[in-house]
Structure 1
Amino acid sequence: MARPRQFDEERVLHAVRDQFWDAGYAATSLEDVMRVSGLGKGSLYAAFGDKHQLFLRALRSYTDAGHGYLRAVLDSAPRALDGLRAFVMAPVSEPGGAAPRRGCLMANSTCELAAADPEVLAEARRTYEATTALVAECVVRAQGEGDVPADADPIEMARALLAAQQGLVFMGRTGLNIDELTATGRSLAAQLLPGA
């Protein structure tokens, strides 16, 4: 009979996710994973499989949580246009301005691995399609509120907003000054969101 797990799986995924986020996949060793998780090799393999499978689980957990948060932000905005603006500005809205240097785990992982790893590429596509769908729903709401032209294609606009937001993520990784990054985000939002 198998013994019950003696650890908090979500805590382990969170710790491992942060390790991959800070160092990247290739630079994270199995020893790093064992250190941050507090688990031995046997426990890790039994619970999560190999390093790659653990990485994919951590990445999926990250993106699923991000989509839940995005839906809450978009749905709670007084006007849909406010939610769309918040989406574009998300990379520079963290208190203290430290988040832009860290970037987005999905964007970082896509840059590092998608060309050679079909599973990461599939996860990236799933993630960005889901993000696009959520933002497009908000665009439709903004159209109903009269803040976005009725003839705008919601999917196309959502992809443009996602591209702008991810551009801010990338620029943040380069160390661009937070004030300049914020000004760039405001300019993007003003150009892409009529009335913003």
Structure 2
Amino acid sequence: MHGRLREALTEAPRAVEALRMMLEAPIGDPTETRRGCLLANSTCELGNADPDVLAHARSSYETSTALIADCVVRAVREGDLPSGTDPVALARALLAAQQGLVFMGRTGMDTVALTATARSLAAQLLPGRGD
């Protein structure tokens, strides 16, 4: 999971575009959107009852956050995000937004609505240059 995320975030020509694509990634594969994320599902089902599941989930989400934060730093360096951006706070917001889209997809929301929601989130969390 982290290898694919790292690759997606580092190979895009511009970091801000990689972050936008990350938000829409679960929408591209309707079967993934409908099933949800194994980590999120396991955490919801077992996190309160199994400390090992909770510890693994926390570690995994922190790794994802660090990868996304690195991409945010790159977007700031490229001039696509304001210099005062807190990389970790924005990374957590983006991860929460993406996981929310996965959850909404599990409810049966159609891909047109999910895509519109992802783009709205991107517009709010990742404003274009000069915004």
Q: TM-score, normalised to structure 1's length? A: 0.64
Q: Spell out, residue by residue over 1:99-132, the C-alpha distance to the aligned partner (whole angstroms, 9 max, x if none).
A: 2111111011111110111000001100100000
Q: Which runs of 4+ in 1 moved over 6 A?
A: none
Aligned to 2:95: 162
- Percent identical across equivalent pairs? 64
Higher relative contact order (CA 8 A, sep 6+): 2
| Counterpart check, 1:90 vs 2:52 | no
Counterpart Cα distance in 1 of 2:114 and 2:20: 15
Aligned to 2:39: 106
Instruction: Say which of 169, 174, 183 aligns to 2:107.
Output: 174
1:1-196 to structure 2, matched below 5 A, reads 66-94=1-29, 97-195=30-128
Q: Secondary structure at the match of 1:98?
A: helix
Count of residues in correspondence between the two structures:
129
Offset, 1:178:
1.5
Counterpart Cα distance in 1 of 2:65 and 2:22: 11
Counterpart Cα distance in 2 of 1:93 and 1:157: 23
Counterpart Cα distance in 1 of 2:5 and 2:55: 21
Offset, 1:79:
0.2
Counterpart Cα distance in 1 of 2:32 and 2:102: 9
Offset, 1:194:
1.1
2:18 maps to a residue whose letter is G
Q: TM-score, normalised to structure 2's length? A: 0.95
Q: What 5-or-longer segments of structure 1 have no aligned partner?
A: 1-65
Q: CA RMSD in A?
A: 1.0
Counterpart Cα distance in 2 of 1:169 and 1:111: 13
Q: Secondary structure at the match of 1:146?
A: coil
Q: Spell out, residue by residue over 1:151-170, the C-alpha distance to the aligned partner (whole angstroms, 9 max, x if none).
A: 01000000010110011011
Offset, 1:182:
1.2
Q: Spell out, residue by residue over 1:45-67, the C-alpha distance to the aligned partner (whole angstroms, 9 max, x if none).
A: xxxxxxxxxxxxxxxxxxxxx10
2:3 maps to a residue whose letter is G
Highest Rg: 1 or 2?
1
Counterpart Cα distance in 1 of 2:79 and 2:23: 20
